[in-house]
Amino acid sequence: MTLKRFSILLVVLALLAVGFTASKMNPPNEPQVQAEPVIAPPVAQALAPLHVLDDEPPRMEPVIKPSPSPSPAADDGMLKVGSRGAEVSALEQRLSDLKYLVGKVDGSFDANTRHGLIAFQKVEGLNRSGVGDAATMAKLATASTPAPKYSAPADHLEVDIPRQTVYVVRGGAVSAILPTSTGSNKNFTNAGWTRRAITPNGRFTVSRKINGMRIAPLGELYKPSYFNGGIAFHGAGSVPTYPASHGCARLPMGFADWFFNEAAPIGQVVYVHGGPTGPNPQPTIEDTPAPDMPVPTDETVVVPPPAPLPPTPSPTPTPVLPSPTPSPQPTATPDPAESPSPGVFDGNDAADLLRNRRGT
């Protein structure tokens, strides 16, 4: 190739290179296509590698859940202490109508309601549970007020030992029924003397009462009403459904004030029946010593202080007026037979003069 031809070839190649570069810089007019937005894939969070052994499943983070609340005891539908509502009110009213003491008829099954229900169960020979079970509720629907065992006098008290109840009889009919706990019939020893704890049968009268808490060597009695030597009705914190005392008739504390004030006046006749016979087991936790024994020196009787009397209103002072000066009377010589006796009348009262003349 000659030098001339080689120079021409270089010029042609140079022109071609310039044209190619220009086409790249200025492309022909073409419709612009909008590019689709590119959404970056979520970046996976790097997790710590789990080290899994061949004989162990993958370990997971523990899930903390609140501990379930203990499920409440199943409601058996029976009325008992703590129950409230219209059904309790109906139960209390029914017991009250039958003369069982329950305290207030307020729809709240409290200790007084329970004692009233236990007294009913005792009289009717039911299970002494203090709960309104099916048998008790069925019997309530058909029961009637029991009749007293004794007819005279019309007002008296009855202690039923087998049933462990006390009847308050007024006008020949039972007006109130309470549960009680009498002598346990077991031997006990006090002050070196062993005897049997019984509440003997018999006819007695209330002879002595203490309006307060009596503190005896072996216990306390609340407002005792004595009817057989040292045996008394009294309030007690424990009145089980069975005989448990040293001889007295325990009463629920909720009824003790009423019984002391209303049911057991001095002279009230008391019948005890259905129990053991035997001597009065004196002295006991509840009673006084037998008449031929000295009174224990370590016994005290706590009597609440009397309520203060209302202040006496101060009397309004009555003004003392000066006696009027008597007008002068004509002087006369009195008849000695008609002269007034000193200190009987003042001589100026015509009625006094007449009475003096008549000699009255």
Neighbour count for residue 331 (Cβ, 10 Å): 5
The model's pTM is 0.60
Same domain, 131 and 182: no
Residue 123 lies in a domain: yes
Same domain, 178 and 227: yes
Report pLDDT for 323.
Answer: 52
Residue-wise pLDDT tens digits, 6-52: 677 776 677 776 665 555 555 555 455 555 555 555 554 544 444 43
Residue 126 lies in a domain: yes
Residue-wise pLDDT tens digits, 111-138: 999 999 999 999 999 999 999 999 999 9
Residue 286 lies in a domain: yes
Same domain, 193 and 135: no
Mark which of 114, 142, 170 sits at the end of a domain: 142
Same domain, 249 and 161: yes
Same domain, 186 and 91: no
Same domain, 211 and 277: yes
- Residue 307: φ, ψ to 5°: -65, 140
Taking the C-alpha atoms of residue 208 and residue 288, their distance in angstroms, rounded to an integer, is 11
Segment among 50-59, 236-245, 323-332 with least mean pLDDT: 50-59
Mark which of 284, 302, 320 sits at the end of a domain: 302
Residue 198 lies in a domain: yes
* Burial environment of residue 120 by CB neighbours within 10 A (0 to 12, 13 to 18, 19 or more): buried
Taking the C-alpha atoms of residue 222 and residue 184, their distance in angstroms, rounded to an integer, is 19
Taking the C-alpha atoms of residue 239 and residue 209, their distance in angstroms, rounded to an integer, is 20
119 close to 165: Cβ distance less than 8 angstroms: yes
Integer angstrom CA distances of residue 128 from 116, 197, 245, 284: 11, 23, 18, 27
- Residue 84: φ, ψ to 5°: -140, 160
Report pLDDT for 90.
Answer: 97
Among 173, 136, 138, smallest CA distance to 155 is for 173
Q: Is residue 98 over pLDDT 80?
A: yes
Segment among 21-35, 203-217, 327-341 with least mean pLDDT: 327-341
Neighbour count for residue 105 (Cβ, 10 Å): 17
Same domain, 163 and 103: no
Residue 90 lies in a domain: yes
Segment among 61-65, 85-89, 171-175, 320-324 with least mean pLDDT: 61-65
Report pLDDT for 34.
Answer: 55
Say whether the peptide bond before residue 305 is cis (omega within 30 degrees of 0). no
Report pLDDT for 190.
Answer: 75
Report pLDDT for 24.
Answer: 55
Rounded to 10 degrees, the C-alpha dihedral 243/246/248/254 comes to: -70
Residue-wise pLDDT tens digits, 273-291: 999 887 776 554 444 443 3
Q: Which of 12-16, 70-74, 232-236, 289-293 has the highest mean pLDDT?
A: 232-236
Q: Is residue 309 over pLDDT 80?
A: no
Report pLDDT for 280.
Answer: 73
Same domain, 172 and 292: yes
Same domain, 273 and 166: yes
Q: Is residue 319 over pLDDT 80?
A: no
Mark which of 302, 333, 352 sits at the end of a domain: 302
Report pLDDT for 337.
Answer: 38
Report pLDDT for 265.
Answer: 97
**What's the total number of domains in the chain?**
2
Taking the C-alpha atoms of residue 303 and residue 297, their distance in angstroms, rounded to an integer, is 17
Q: Return the H-helix or E-strand segment holding 337.
A: none
Report pLDDT for 229.
Answer: 87
Question: Which residue range(s) make up the domain with 124?
Answer: 86-142
Residue 217 lies in a domain: yes
Same domain, 265 and 173: yes
Same domain, 183 and 248: yes
Read off the CATH number of the domain in which 210 is found.
2.40.440.10
Q: If DSSP codes are grouped into helix, strand and coil, which group holds residue 167?
A: strand
Same domain, 247 and 185: yes
Report pLDDT for 8.
Answer: 76
Read off the CATH number of the domain in which 130 is found.
1.10.101.10
